[in-house]
Amino acid sequence: MKSFLVLLCFVALAWSQERPECWCGAFVTLRDLEFEVLHLPPIDVDGCEDFIDCHHRCTAEWTFILDDGDLDHELIDGKTAGQHMCDNLVEEGTKDLPPHQVYLYYQLCSTPWLFDGQTSQNSLCCLNGTYHHCP
């Protein structure tokens, strides 16, 4: 029985490693470091060399989920995209953020993050963890 369970674990591990995924994330630059402020759902792709497909699909997700980078866009839960980003920054220890552009990046399998070419329509500003319109 133990052998069967161990074999099943190896099969599950191999299956999960064979499913290449494309990750899309929104980032801001703070103190010369990139911080991910919003993580979009992973996208299944055909292979770990499908950079163009990953790039295009992240752009499509950005357009669909964030209304082409509008931080005032209301998401399914009723919060704006900007508020989600401020919430995520608070979890990382940053309550206040002066005006910052948000940039879309993509990652295919375990490769480094690559800039997708998309930026937010408006700047991200957080005051005491709350998103607000930048001055």
Write the pLDDT tens digit of every residue in 15-37: 445 689 999 999 999 878 888 99
* 92 found inside a domain: yes
Question: Which of these, 41, 40, 135, 28, lies nearest to 92 by C-alpha position?
Answer: 28
pLDDT value at residue 22: 96
Number of domains within the chain:
1
Tokens found for residue 33: 């470091």
* Confidence band of 134 (pLDDT split at 50, 70, 90): confident
- Any domain includes 30: yes
Q: Using the predicted structure, report yes or no on whether residue 13 has a pLDDT greater than 50.
A: no
For residue 134 the two structure tokens come to 């930048």
pLDDT per residue as tens digits for the range 68-127: 999 999 999 999 999 999 999 999 899 999 999 999 999 999 899 999 999 999 999 999
| Conformational region of residue 31, where left means phi above 0, alpha means psi within -120 to 50, and beta covers everything else | left
> Per the domain annotation, does 9 fall within a domain?
no
Q: What is the DSSP letter of 41?
A: P
What's the pTM? 0.81
In a domain, 49, yes or no: yes
Note whether residue 48 is domain-resident.
Answer: yes
pLDDT: is 19 or 43 the higher one? 43
Any domain includes 1: no
State the residue range of the domain holding 107.
20-131
- pLDDT given for residue 30 in this prediction: 81
At 61, which amino acid appears?
E
pLDDT for the residue numbered 109: 93
Taking only the tens place, the pLDDT of each residue in 48-77 is 999 999 999 999 999 999 999 999 999 999
Asked if residue 65 is part of any domain, the answer here is yes
Statement: residue 9 has pLDDT above 90: no
Residue 54 lies in a domain: yes
Q: Which residues contact 103 (CB under 8 A, 6 or more apart)?
A: 26, 27, 28, 29, 115, 116, 118, 119, 120
Residue keyed to tokens 């920054």: 89
